[in-house]
């Protein structure tokens, strides 16, 4: 008799080993874009990340960082290795889950295993587990230091554990598996909340195991109980326990006059004591259900205790201390994601609803000197139009435009409830879930971030041409760049078909287990969509949020092997049918996914995030202040400074965070080798609830007002300097947008703010127009810095900071590479400068000697964020060369353009990037590098011509979308620029080729 347990364990560990080795071979060697930079930096030095925190993840990653043995450049590698190991273990538990489910259904209890039976169970486990291992979404998270790999492991463990409980529920001590699950649930809160969404499925397992005869009413009741348990943990434990602790502390401090924290400690000890008493009571009175409930509650809270790290480290005030949650109320705000706001779920406005009133909400508090002080109210806006189940609610950013584009609403057309449901189905369900689902199990067109419905961006496709032609059009005319795009992955529906076959097989053999897996699939996928209620124009793809749902489908993929084997056994003997089914399943799914996904998931040669961050820092003079704005121009910089110790003299200031009072307070303190910012505001002047937003009221002031006077007015506590509002409150306001700053030329010269060659161009007064209709705390702090810095420290804006966030200072911003330096030099009217003044001395030295280029010229694949950086890098090269040519420094300009041809990728990726190249080509011609210019023009011509042919093929069968029309315009613009440049420099052959293509497609799209 074959030993099932040993074989099951051995093959499971082999699957885990295959997955882990794959992830280690393909993982990022250093930090990546988005959150990993922040997580690595925070884990290395035990700091506080963005809300709502991930303390257990950070502590575990810190353990892996020790494998670097003190080498700071290897710390990120070993933290990424931690994610690879977590992901490999996830595959292990998925294998054991599939084999347990298949064995329970397919094998009769008590009968010995035959070889075909054993192979069928193990084959299902291998195919399902490795299908998930090589799937697009899971592989993406497995190779970077992010929370989703460890969160997936928690999901895998709890679902495996509930099956262990199911098999041992009648044994003495069998309920220990439920206590174990509760503990993992509590621990997972310190990683990510997604794991909690398995609870309704777990409740289904308990119901079916304890109920001899299931009914629809019983299933519904079990599901509701599961949802209640989920709500109790998600809100009752995660939020309200902390809220009760905070208000207990408020009573002890403000009423009883005790020290901060005493009340919170009293509440914690009372809670723990109450649970202990309840457990002892349940034992004495022989109440097993109460005992189990209290044990599970205790272990959830015990696991949740990892958040003590947040409070402890926040009190130490480390360099990265997001939200500074060092007291009960700031900790509550941190856990509630107060910085990000919330989305309406049951009732809310339309995006065009008008604000009619504001209802005063409950008081909010902040820590004062010796007591808690009011910090405003949790006010609730009242709108003229609301709807149940709001889906089109946001009026922030450009969301209204996004809603109108998806719903095809005209500019003044008001949305109705039907539009609400249409957006739910077309965008939130189809675009933001089913599209990702099909990416993983049917195939993906490319990785272009699809913001609007498009035939050419980010769709799913199968590789079966008639289907793809019907869906997207133009598939026969695919340009070479699209055919060879590593992110184009075609699975021919095979994973989807095998998964559906497994679903049908399970449904026919075990309806109960089908309901359980279905609940797991729904609550970790579609329910997430309903809860997140995402607006359009997401800054990045969000498929990582649905990894649990794809995990459930991978279970069905494994079961599909059994379904195929049963079909084959109708014509073949078992000893032939089962091995054939296993081989077919393996080739159809894991082998196909692995080969298709390897090239675009292999990050082993990717250094773009780290090197571009280095370029931001190296663009700055010593002791600089660098303003950034978004995750990707901030988190990698934090990583370099906190982990590798690069340019710690530069103070990185994220303008998005500077709108929070805690961020301003931290900027008044030195960190690492960077001095405190010259902010003179007292804490009371900008604390939460004070000067959160100061409105603009036009007082008709025509002349520019000195910024120092503006700042004094905005900070004044004199009622005469404030306006009275309808609610009776008096607040500061902005009376004019015409600003000026008097320049002390002696200070400018002493601090070497302006290059020697521009000393004569220094202005006496900087004048500009403020672009906003109000002043946030971030802009208030920025004004304070400008007034009191007195040119002692260089001030820079990252070139990715939008114009609206630069205080209107664009006229005085000079390029020094990847950062724009504030200089009192006005070049706006200089005919030699096309867009922006460039400090060529600084940029030339940085480009030739200090900047790094992220291996972009040798990488087989560049992700969307890296490709965007390629486009911006081209502009930095061309702007610098243009300025050098204008200055008559031809040799230096030639060095710059030649450097560009060395480090930029030879491959053209998108029309908007191709539109960056004409200036560089023209400069190559101008500087006598004709051969290189022609090669560059030729590559772009080939790319653009094929791209236009693709658009033309789509237009034959379908209307082109706004995104595609923008692509056409970008392509035609680039062709026109290339043509003009080639013609101006006597390159007749190139000019004629370009002109022919340009005329053809201009006529086709705009004159036909």
Higher pLDDT, 364 or 156: 156
Same domain flag for 371 and 272 = no
Answer whether residue 835 shows pLDDT above 70: no
How many Å from the N-terminal Cα to the C-terminal Cα in the chain? 77
Q: Is 754 left (phi over 0), alpha (psi -120 to 50) or beta?
A: beta
pTM exceeds 0.85 for this model? yes
Is 909 a domain residue? no
Q: What's the residue count for the chain?
A: 1008
Same domain flag for 386 and 357 = yes
Cis ω before 75 (30° cut-off from 0): no
Q: Of 954, 962, 909, which Cα lies nearest the Cα of 468?
A: 954
Same domain flag for 167 and 239 = yes
What is the DSSP track for 231-292? Answer: HIIIIIIIIIHHHHHHHHHHIIIIIT---TTHHHHHHHHHHHHHHHHHHHHHHHTT-HHHHH
- Quickly count: other Cβ atoms within 10 Å of residue 558's Cβ: 31
Is 557 a domain residue? yes
Is 564 a domain residue? yes
Same domain flag for 149 and 236 = yes
Is 207 a domain residue? yes
Strands (E) across 930-999 are located at none
Q: What is the pLDDT of residue 895?
A: 94
Burial of 527 (0-12, 13-18, 19+ CB in 10 A): middle
Same domain flag for 261 and 172 = yes
Same domain flag for 225 and 108 = yes
- Rounded-to-10 torsion of CA 76, 80, 81, 83: 150
Higher pLDDT, 412 or 506: 506
Burial of 104 (0-12, 13-18, 19+ CB in 10 A): middle
Residue that is last in its domain, among 601, 632, 662? 601
Answer whether residue 630 shows pLDDT above 90: no
Beta bridge partners of 695: 774
Three-state DSSP at 308 gives: helix
Is 867 a domain residue? no
Residue that is last in its domain, among 577, 601, 625? 601
Same domain flag for 235 and 171 = yes
- Quickly count: other Cβ atoms within 10 Å of residue 834's Cβ: 12
Binning pLDDT at 50, 70 and 90, where does residue 834 land? very low
Label the pairing between strands 651-654 and 625-628: parallel
Q: Of 238, 173, 228, which Cα lies nearest the Cα of 202?
A: 228
Helix (H) or strand (E) holding 874: helix 864-886
Is 900 a domain residue? no
Tens-place pLDDT, residues 949-978: 888 888 888 888 877 888 888 889 889 999
Range of the domain at 383: 344-393
Residue that is last in its domain, among 840, 868, 898? 840
Is 950 a domain residue? no
Is 799 a domain residue? yes
Same domain flag for 253 and 201 = yes
Same domain flag for 631 and 572 = no
Tens-place pLDDT, residues 684-727: 888 888 888 899 998 888 889 999 999 999 999 898 888 887 76
Higher pLDDT, 501 or 454: 501
Q: What is the pLDDT of residue 157?
A: 96
Q: Which tokens is 939 given?
A: 């590559």
- Quickly count: other Cβ atoms within 10 Å of residue 571's Cβ: 8
Q: What is the pLDDT of residue 833?
A: 46
Same domain flag for 369 and 254 = no
Answer whether residue 821 shows pLDDT above 80: yes
Tens-place pLDDT, residues 66-114: 999 989 999 999 999 999 999 999 999 999 999 999 998 887 766 677 8
Beta bridge partners of 294: none
Number of structural domains (the chain) is 3
* The 705-706 sheet, strands edge to edge: 705-706, 738-742, 765-769
Answer whether residue 569 shows pLDDT above 60: yes
Answer whether residue 379 shows pLDDT above 80: no
Same domain flag for 312 and 349 = no
Binning pLDDT at 50, 70 and 90, where does residue 452 land? low
Same domain flag for 309 and 388 = no
Q: What share of the chain is helix, strand, coil (3-state, %, to 5)?
A: 60, 10, 30
Per cent of the chain over pLDDT 90 is 64
């Amino acid at each position: 008799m074959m030993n099932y347990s040993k074989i099951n364990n051995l093959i499971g560990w082999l699957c885990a080993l295959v997955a882990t080795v794959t992830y280690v071979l393909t993982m990022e060697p250093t930090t990546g874009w988005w959150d990993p930079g922040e997580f690595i930096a925070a884990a290395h030095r035990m700091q506080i990340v963005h809300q709502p925190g991930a303390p257990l993840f950070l502590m575990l990653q810190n353990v892996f960082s020790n494998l670097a043995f003190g080498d700071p450049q290897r710390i990120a590698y070993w933290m990424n290795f931690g994610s690879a190991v977590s992901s490999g273990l996830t595959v292990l538990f998925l294998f054991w889950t599939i084999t347990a489910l298949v064995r329970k259904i397919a094998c009769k209890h008590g009968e010995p295993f035959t070889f075909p039976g054993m192979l069928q169970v193990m084959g299902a486990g291998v195919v399902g587990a490795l299908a998930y291992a090589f799937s697009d979404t899971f592989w993406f998270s497995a190779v970077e230091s992010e929370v989703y790999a460890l969160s997936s492991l928690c999901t895998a463990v709890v679902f495996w554990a509930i099956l262990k409980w199911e098999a041992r529920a009648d044994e003495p001590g069998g309920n220990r598996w439920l206590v174990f699950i509760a503990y993992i649930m509590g621990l997972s809160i310190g990683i990510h909340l997604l794991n909690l969404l398995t609870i309704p499925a777990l409740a289904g397992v308990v119901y079916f195991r304890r109920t001899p005869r299931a009914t629809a009413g019983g299933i519904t009741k079990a599901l509701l109980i599961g949802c209640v348990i989920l709500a109790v943990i998600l809100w009752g434990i995660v939020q309200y326990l902390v809220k009760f602790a905070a208000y207990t502390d408020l009573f002890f401090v403000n009423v009883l006059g005790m020290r901060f924290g005493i009340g919170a400690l009293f509440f914690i000890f009372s809670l723990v004591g109450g649970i202990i008493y309840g457990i002892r009571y349940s034992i004495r009175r022989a109440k097993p259900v109460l005992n189990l409930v209290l044990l599970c509650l205790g272990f959830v809270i015990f696991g949740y205790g990892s958040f003590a790290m947040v409070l402890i480290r926040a009190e130490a005030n480390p360099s990265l201390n997001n939200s500074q949650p060092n007291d009960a109320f700031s900790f509550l705000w941190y856990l509630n994601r107060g910085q990000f706001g919330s989305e309406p779920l049951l009732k809310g406005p339309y995006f065009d609803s008008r604000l009619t009133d504001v209802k005063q909400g409950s008081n909010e508090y902040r820590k004062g000197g010796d007591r808690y002080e009011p910090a405003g109210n949790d006010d609730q806006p009242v709108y003229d139009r609301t709807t149940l189940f709001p889906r089109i609610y946001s009026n922030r950013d450009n969301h209204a435009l996004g809603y109108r584009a998806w719903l095809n609403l005209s500019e003044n057309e008001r949305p109705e409830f039907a539009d609400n449901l249409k957006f739910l189905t077309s965008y939130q369900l189809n675009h933001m879930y089913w599209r990702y689902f099909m990416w993983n199990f049917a195939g993906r067109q490319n990785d272009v971030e699809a913001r609007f419905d498009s035939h050419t961006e980010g769709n799913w496709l199968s590789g079966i041409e008639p289907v793809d032609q019907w869906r997207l059009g133009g598939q026969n005319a695919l340009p070479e760049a699209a055919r060879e795009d590593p992110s184009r992955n075609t699975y021919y529906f095979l994973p989807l078909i095998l998964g559906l076959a497994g679903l049908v097989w399970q449904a026919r053999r075990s309806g109960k287990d089908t309901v359980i897996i279905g609940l797991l699939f729904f609550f970790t996928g579609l329910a997430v969509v309903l809860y997140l209620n995402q607006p359009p124009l997401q800054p990045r793809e969000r498929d990582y949020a649905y990894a649990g749902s794809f995990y459930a489908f991978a279970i069905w993929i494994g079961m599909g092997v059994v379904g195929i084997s049963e079909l084959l056994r109708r014509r073949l003997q078992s000893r032939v049918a089962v091995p054939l089914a296993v081989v077919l399943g393996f080739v159809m799914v894991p082998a196909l996914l692995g080969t298709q996904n390897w090239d675009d998931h292999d990050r082993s040669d990717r250094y773009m995030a780290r090197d571009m961050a280095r370029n931001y820092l190296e663009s700055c003079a010593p002791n600089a202040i660098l303003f950034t704005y978004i995750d990707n121009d901030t988190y990698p910089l934090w990583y370099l400074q906190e982990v590798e110790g690069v340019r710690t003299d530069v103070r990185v200031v994220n303008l998005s965070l500077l709108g929070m009072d805690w961020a301003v307070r931290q900027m008044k303190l030195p960190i690492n080798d960077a001095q405190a910012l010259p902010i003179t505001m007292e804490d009371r002047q900008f604390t939460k609830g004070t000067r959160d937003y100061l409105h603009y009221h036009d007082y008709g002031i025509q002349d520019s007002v000195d910024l120092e006077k503006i700042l004094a007015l905005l900070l004044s506590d004199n009622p005469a300097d404030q306006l009275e509002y309808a609610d009776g409150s008096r607040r500061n306001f902005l009376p004019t947008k015409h600003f000026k700053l008097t320049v002390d030329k002696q200070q400018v010269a002493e601090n070497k703010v302006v290059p020697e060659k521009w000393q004569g161009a220094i202005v006496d007064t900087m004048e500009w127009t403020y672009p906003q209709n109000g002043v946030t705390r971030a802009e208030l702090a920025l004004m304070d810095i400008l007034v009191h810095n007195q040119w002692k420290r260089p001030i820079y804006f990252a070139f990715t900071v939008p114009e609206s966030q630069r205080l209107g200072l664009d006229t005085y911003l000079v390029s020094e590479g990847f950062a724009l330096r504030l200089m009192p030099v006005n070049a706006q009217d200089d005919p030699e400068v096309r867009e922006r003044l460039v400090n060529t001395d600084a940029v030339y030295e940085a480009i030739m000697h200090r900047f790094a280029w992220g291996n972009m010229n040798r990488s087989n694949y560049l992700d969307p964020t890296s490709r965007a950086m390629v486009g911006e890098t081209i502009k930095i090269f061309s702007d610098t060369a243009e300025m050098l040519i204008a200055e008559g420094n031809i040799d230096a300009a030639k060095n710059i353009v030649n450097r560009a041809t060395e480090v930029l990728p030879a491959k053209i990726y998108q029309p908007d990037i191709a539109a960056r190249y004409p200036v560089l080509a023209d400069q190559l011609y101008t500087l006598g590098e004709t051969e290189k210019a022609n090669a560059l023009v030729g590559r772009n011509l080939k790319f653009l011509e094929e791209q236009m042919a693709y658009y033309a093929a789509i237009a034959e069968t379908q209307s082109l979308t706004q995104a595609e029309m923008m692509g056409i315009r970008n392509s035609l613009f680039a062709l026109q620029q290339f043509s003009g440049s080639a013609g101006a420099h006597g390159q007749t052959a190139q000019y004629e080729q370009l002109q022919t293509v340009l005329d053809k497609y201009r006529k086709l799209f705009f004159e036909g």
